[in-house]
Structure 1
Amino acid sequence: MLTFEFQIVIKKVMLLITTTLFFISCESNFKEVQKINITEINPVGEAQDFNLKYTDSGKIKAVLVSPKMLDFSTAEFPFNEFPKGINLTIYDDNANKSFVTSNYAVSYGSTNIIELTGQVIITTHDGKKLETEQLYYDQKNEWFFTQKPYRFTDRGSIINGIGIDFSKDFKYLDTQQIKGTYNL
């Protein structure tokens, strides 16, 4: 026969085990309830070996190549994602080529902003080169900008800095926190 004190200890242990199991089961249910408010966004389209040629008046203006494009055009904030990067060739009015590459890109439809990340490199037909890890392009204003570190090379001059804004043809540059020598 169990003593009265031993019976109380067993009841307390059982109560502790029951309470612990209750909180563990509630924790799991609570996590499930939290997931209800998370909206999963799925692409409405996917393209492999994507190759887009943009023409104007019968002339090729740009060629965009990417191993993969995901179309999220039905999302509340529509966008196209290029998870494996892009290679973009841009032609000016004289058919000169400039090149843009990045490891990842997102094009936001409602703002006309393109975000390039991961080894972003722009090389122009006249030898200018910009390298950075993140760069934005405002399609409406034809303007590039970043607040990340960059390296800009032009005819032997090298500028390193943090933060730069410039026009698509590099005629207008606004550099911040620069280091280096630049020949004018």
Structure 2
Amino acid sequence: MKVYIVTAIAVTLFFGCESNFKEVQKINYSEFTPGGDADNVNLKYTDSGLIKVILLSSKMLDYSNVEFPFTEFPKGIHLTLYDAKAKKTRITAKYAVSYGLTNIIDLQGKVKIASEAGQMLETEQLYYDQKNEWFFTEKKFKFTDLKGTSNGQGIDFSKDFKVINSQRITGELESEE
């Protein structure tokens, strides 16, 4: 009989401590919730009266309330970038995160970028440095323009496709050199 009583007390203490441990864990746990949540976003960024960027997304989560602030687009993004002559560069991705302190946008999932001049790049992940207006990735990519199509891994380029640096590339392209 004593064995059953001791066992019952030990089990009770064990489960009682488990419950307290979970409560202690909750005290040190901080909620990671967005400071803002928006649906069907249509944002236009202007500079000196000219539209520079149009951002469309069905869902935007703003985490400006955390130590390293960012904005998340969990349902994808459609960006249109305009240059000084109002030429468009269109970008789509299934997911995106914009980091406020670094001005880097991380585009993921069937990323496609196309210029008015007919250049198009497709990849699974692409970063955009907003300050320098520069794209880069180490992922595999497919690049198409009027001269042909090439595939490769690792590329960086200006938003207007005037400067392109590719790493491992396959396919045929005409060169001006």
Q: Tell whether the structures are fold-level matches, with TM greater than 0.5.
A: yes
Q: Which residue of structure 2 lines up, in the alignment, with residue 4 of structure 1?
A: none
1:131 equivalenced with 2:153 (yes/no): no
Distance 1:34 1:50, change over 3 A: same
Distance of 1:81 and 1:75 partners within structure 2: 13
Query: After superposition, what is the alpha-carbon deviation per residue over 1:6-55, rounded to whole angstroms, capped at 9, x for unaligned?
Result: x7xx83x7756765665455445444434443322212222221111122
Q: Which residue of structure 2 lines up, in the alignment, with residue 117 of structure 1?
A: 108
Distance of 2:9 and 2:170 partners within structure 1: 66
Distance of 1:104 and 1:72 partners within structure 2: 16
2:89–2:160: 8 Å Cα contact kept in structure 1?
no
Say which one has the larger Rg.
1
2:89–2:159: 8 Å Cα contact kept in structure 1?
no
Q: Normalising to structure 2: TM-score of the pair? A: 0.85
Distance of 1:103 and 1:70 partners within structure 2: 15
Greater alpha carbon shift after TM alignment, 121-130 vs 26-35 = 26-35
Q: Which residue of structure 2 lines up, in the alignment, with residue 158 of structure 1?
A: 149
Q: Normalising to structure 1: TM-score of the pair? A: 0.82
Q: Which residue of structure 2 lines up, in the alignment, with residue 149 of structure 1?
A: 140
1:103 equivalenced with 2:97 (yes/no): no
Extract unaligned runs of 5+ from structure 1. 1-6
Distance of 1:37 and 1:151 partners within structure 2: 46
Identity %: 58
Extract unaligned runs of 5+ from structure 2. none
Query: After superposition, what is the alpha-carbon deviation per residue over 1:101-125, rounded to whole angstroms, capped at 9, x for unaligned?
Result: 1111111111111111111100101
Distance of 2:161 and 2:25 partners within structure 1: 48
Give the count of matched residue pairs: 175
RMSD: 2.1
Distance of 2:174 and 2:20 partners within structure 1: 65
Of 61, 83, 89 in structure 2, the residue corresponding to residue 92 of structure 1 is: 83
Distance 1:34 1:160, change over 3 A: farther
